[in-house]
């Protein structure tokens, strides 16, 4: 008899455990969420970033450079997802490791690195032709930012 009362409670705990362990990004609430690195409000849909750990914990950033600086103190292998805002489609997040990056003095980013991400190399080249600057891959970008 007592076991019948425990079944719904155990079911609720199992459900909460399963829900809390989801490894997926959460939408960034622009103007409300704070950067996990510099604590500024995230307001720019063209330069935000986010990573999700293998345990499902979310970290959101107001700029790509804040995410890279935060990752410099962590093991990138512990991250399930690394996402950056697609400059060409504000609000859309793309995989950080396959994105192409442009650093151009004519495209200002929130923390001053003038760093933007694009979903394809051809799109980044298109913006480079228009605004100038240099293109980077995820690997070369991290090297450039760590040299400062």
In angstroms, the CA 20 to CA 9 distance is 17
Predicted structure pTM score: 0.83
Per-residue pLDDT 10s for the chain (148 aa) are 566 777 777 777 766 665 566 889 999 999 999 999 999 999 999 999 999 999 999 999 999 999 999 999 899 999 999 999 999 999 999 999 999 999 999 999 998 999 999 999 999 999 999 999 999 999 999 999 887 6
50: closest CA among 31, 66, 39? 66
């Amino acid at each position: 008899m007592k076991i019948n009362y425990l079944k719904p409670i155990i079911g609720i705990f199992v459900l909460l455990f399963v829900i809390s362990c989801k490894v997926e990004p959460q939408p960034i609430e622009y103007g409300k969420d704070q950067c996990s690195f510099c604590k500024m409000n995230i307001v720019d849909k063209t330069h935000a970033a986010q990573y999700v750990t293998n345990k499902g914990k979310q970290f959101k950033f107001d700029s790509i450079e804040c995410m890279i600086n935060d990752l410099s103190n962590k093991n990138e292998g512990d991250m399930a997802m690394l996402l950056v805002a697609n400059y060409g489609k504000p609000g859309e997040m793309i995989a950080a490791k396959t994105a192409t990056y442009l650093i151009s003095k004519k495209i200002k980013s929130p923390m001053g690195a003038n760093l933007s991400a694009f979903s394809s190399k051809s799109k980044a080249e298109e913006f480079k032709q228009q605004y100038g600057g240099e293109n980077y891959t995820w690997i070369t970008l991290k090297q450039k930012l760590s040299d400062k």
